[in-house]
Chain A
Amino acid sequence: MNPWQGPIEQLDDYRFKIPKSYMNEMRVPGLIYANVEMMEHIKNDSTPIQIANVACLPGIIKYSIAMPDIHWGYGFSIGGVGATEIDKGGIISPGGVGSDINCGVRLLRTNLSLSDIEDKLPALVNGLFRNIPAGVGSHGAIKLSPKDTADVLHTGTKWAVSHGYGIPEDILYTEEHGQLPFANPEQISQRALERGHNQLGTLGSGNHFLEIQVIDRVFDPKIAAIFGLKEQQITIMIHTGSRGLGYQVCEDYLRSMGDASRKYGIYLPDRQLACAPVDSPEGKGYLGAMACAANYAWANRQCIMHLTRRTFEQILGLSEKEIGIQLVYDVAHNIAKIEKHMVNGKETTLCVHRKGATRAFPAGHPDIPERYKDAGQPVIVPGDMGRASYVLVGTQLGMDEAFGTACHGAGRIMSRTRAIKEAKGRSITRELADKGIIVRSSGKETLAEEMPEAYKDVNVVVNILHQAGIAKKVAKIRPLGVVKG
């Protein structure tokens, strides 16, 4: 990949701009949240060209935005945000969502502290590894009849809770209550259904994980208390998405969007940015299908949460109430949403693409749970399996500047192949064990691919957003036990 040769203007310590003049077709400038050191890496990764390409899409407003965990992706970069104005021919693009539709993460709090589980940690990790299918093509936790599949696609988390995989409260603490209303199962291909019928309640492979963690540090005690978090408390994090069903929806629509782009005469600087106006039949078709996959992903994380609750009860021999596993929040970080934002002093309906980026609404926003109204929306940022994860909170500045969006993780820095090479002759399991982290994985090469050095330092990534005022740090969480696919 060629290093970026184009112009970058530094606006302040944490903001960099790609001017509109870089390419004739750019409709808006690019805006990157980073620091000087990270910017050098971003330039070498040639992601700025992807940010500029997104800035060419019809209807895009303000900026084509990149979060500090940005790295190269298909069409949009991972960590890319693009909002289009629907009334002005704004488009929707599967390349702005990604192949794992509604890949996301949920954070669970418990009544337990580190001293309560230290001895039982190996048993807990083994129990989770046994009870929650993980790995390439994992399936089998919950089998769906065709009627159930349709219901899952329509109602997401609600289906899971009404079938005993959770409690009504879980719905309240899920983004969109775990159900995008515009889901249209008629837009889902038979193939996508086939791929989805036996994968609910499975983790999958790659960077997906389930982690037992402990809160290492609280930065904002007031907001942490509102989120029900305190130091030394045990938390659990679940990171997965819509599995094969979502991949198939992406593939189906990347194909049809190629035709749609030609039909609407849309200039595509990259075929992976194939798109259609949100208001066109093709755009509505994708939106309806994407919503189905998103709902499936929320049901998936909900079912895994249920299996986690049962596993903790089984291993610890305590009641559900004693363990007290409750959902802090569930966020989607590969999704396109129809949202209202203020644009030039006017409320405007936008299609906000967040690909490897997390919604981060501020205090007082109507779409966040009542309990969090005075604090803002929790933003869950998983790091790599050896360092840390974070809980942030959305801010008004982030709302005004970045359509209420923050980063989604640490961001890859090393190719999978290079990570495997670098890990040759090493035992990642032992290295993590030396740090007090127990890890179990089903794939032979997963641990090498996912080793901590393969990622940017999450501490640096979240500090950039904190300093820029786009989201604020609430708590830092340390991994104790990790289940990988």
Chain B
Amino acid sequence: MVMDNTLDITPTPNPKRFDSFEHTADMGIIAYGSTREEAFANIACGMFALLAESDNITLKKSINIEASGYNYDELLVNFLSELLYHCSTKGMLFNKVAILELTPTLIKAKAYGEKYTSSKHQLRQEIKTVTYHQLKIEDTGCGWEIRVIFDV
């Protein structure tokens, strides 16, 4: 094996999955990932951390999620809305998402979590909708970043 003595400049992705930030009346999540797929998965988990204390969500059940869109922005909003739908109608809370396929117009994923139980989970706030405001999906050069603001 030939050793290359040039400096290793491979960027180190942010070790955190996501952070929250504040925005006038509402809340935003910034998610990180070494790939676009990973950032998509992490923004989904970040959204559930806004909804509920997410540390004690057990990965008991998985649900297949599929969404489409005109571009990556629409795809992301529709994907997160799809997850919210499972939360608001079926009481599902997710804390892990595996992206199975991601094109600019289609996403297929598997979301893992469990049903909300009032004795176990503490709900934090209701998310009314996922918004396009200041939505960003970008390759920063040291990993992918996705910013989404939620109407709460």
**A in complex with B:** yes
- Please give the residue numbers on chain A whose beta carbons come within 8 Å of chain B beta carbons, in ascending order: 1, 45, 71-74, 78, 99-100, 135-137, 191, 194-195, 204-206, 244, 247-248, 250-251, 254-255, 258-259, 262, 270-272, 412, 415-418, 443-445
- With known contacts A74-B151, A443-B123, A444-B124, A45–B129 Cβ distance under 8 A: no
B60 contacts the other chain (CB 8 A): no
Going nearest first, the 3 A-B pairs with the smallest beta carbon separation are A417-B22, A271-B132, A72-B24
**Contact call A247/B128, Cβ cutoff below 8 A:** yes
- In whole angstroms, what is the CA distance A259 to B69 when docked? 10
- With known contacts A247-B128, A251-B129, A259-B70, A195–B78 Cβ distance under 8 A: no
Q: Name A417's closest neighbour in chain B (CB-CB).
A: B22
**Contact call B88/A137, Cβ cutoff below 8 A:** yes
Q: Which residues of A contact B128 (CB under 8 A)?
A: 99-100, 247, 250
- Please give the residue numbers on chain B whose beta carbons come within 8 Å of chain A beta carbons, in ascending order: 20-27, 51, 70, 73-74, 77-78, 81, 85, 88-89, 91, 116, 122-126, 128-133, 135, 151-152
- In whole angstroms, what is the CA distance A32 to B69 when docked? 36
- With known contacts A99-B128, A195-B88, A444-B122, A258–B27 Cβ distance under 8 A: no
**Contact call A272/B27, Cβ cutoff below 8 A:** no
- In whole angstroms, what is the CA distance A416 to B150 when docked? 12
**Contact call A191/B74, Cβ cutoff below 8 A:** no
**Contact call A445/B74, Cβ cutoff below 8 A:** no
**Contact call A415/B88, Cβ cutoff below 8 A:** no
Residue from B85, B124, B130 in contact with A445 in the complex, judged by beta carbons closer than 8 Å: B124
- In whole angstroms, what is the CA distance A417 to B129 when docked? 18
**Contact call A205/B89, Cβ cutoff below 8 A:** no
Q: List 21 A-B contacts (CB under 8 A).
A: A1-B24, A71-B25, A74-B133, A99-B151, A136-B124, A136-B125, A137-B126, A205-B126, A244-B89, A251-B81, A255-B74, A255-B77, A271-B135, A272-B132, A415-B23, A415-B24, A415-B26, A417-B20, A417-B27, A443-B123, A444-B124
- In whole angstroms, what is the CA distance A271 to B69 when docked? 14
**Contact call B129/A250, Cβ cutoff below 8 A:** yes
- With known contacts A415-B24, A444-B124, A191–B129 Cβ distance under 8 A: no
Q: Which residues of B contact A258 (CB under 8 A)?
A: 70, 74
**Contact call A416/B132, Cβ cutoff below 8 A:** no
- In whole angstroms, what is the CA distance A254 to B129 when docked? 10
Kindly provide the distance from the CB of B126 to the nearest chain A CB, expressed in whole angstroms: 5
- In whole angstroms, what is the CA distance A416 to B26 when docked? 6
Kindly provide the distance from the CB of B23 to the nearest chain A CB, expressed in whole angstroms: 6
Q: Which residues of A contact B85 (CB under 8 A)?
A: 191, 248
**Contact call A74/B24, Cβ cutoff below 8 A:** no
Q: Name A207's closest neighbour in chain B (CB-CB).
A: B25
Q: Which residues of A contact B130 (CB under 8 A)?
A: 251
Kindly provide the distance from the CB of A455 to the nearest chain B CB, expressed in whole angstroms: 11
**Contact call A272/B131, Cβ cutoff below 8 A:** yes
- With known contacts A72-B25, A205-B125, A444-B122, A194–B133 Cβ distance under 8 A: no
In addition to A74-B129, A415-B24, 10 A-B residue pairs with Cβ atoms within 8 Å of each other are A45-B24, A191-B85, A191-B89, A204-B126, A244-B89, A247-B88, A412-B24, A417-B27, A443-B125, A445-B124
Q: Which residues of A contact B26 (CB under 8 A)?
A: 415-416
Q: Which residues of A contact B78 (CB under 8 A)?
A: 255
**Contact call A194/B89, Cβ cutoff below 8 A:** yes
- In whole angstroms, what is the CA distance A136 to B131 when docked? 19
Q: Which residues of B contact A270 (CB under 8 A)?
A: 132-133
**Contact call A418/B22, Cβ cutoff below 8 A:** yes
- In whole angstroms, what is the CA distance A72 to B24 when docked? 7
Q: Which residues of B contact A444 (CB under 8 A)?
A: 122, 124
- In whole angstroms, what is the CA distance A103 to B27 when docked? 20
Most buried by B among A204, A251, A272, A444: A251
**Contact call A415/B22, Cβ cutoff below 8 A:** yes
Residue from A136, A194, A259, A271 in contact with B126 in the complex, judged by beta carbons closer than 8 Å: A136
- In whole angstroms, what is the CA distance A122 to B142 when docked? 57
Residue from B20, B21, B22, B133 in contact with A272 in the complex, judged by beta carbons closer than 8 Å: B133
Q: Name B24's closest neighbour in chain A (CB-CB).
A: A72
Kindly provide the distance from the CB of A409 to the nearest chain B CB, expressed in whole angstroms: 12
Q: Which residues of B contact A195 (CB under 8 A)?
A: 88-89
Q: Which residues of A contact B27 (CB under 8 A)?
A: 416-417
Q: Which residues of B contact A259 (CB under 8 A)?
A: 70
- In whole angstroms, what is the CA distance A205 to B91 when docked? 16
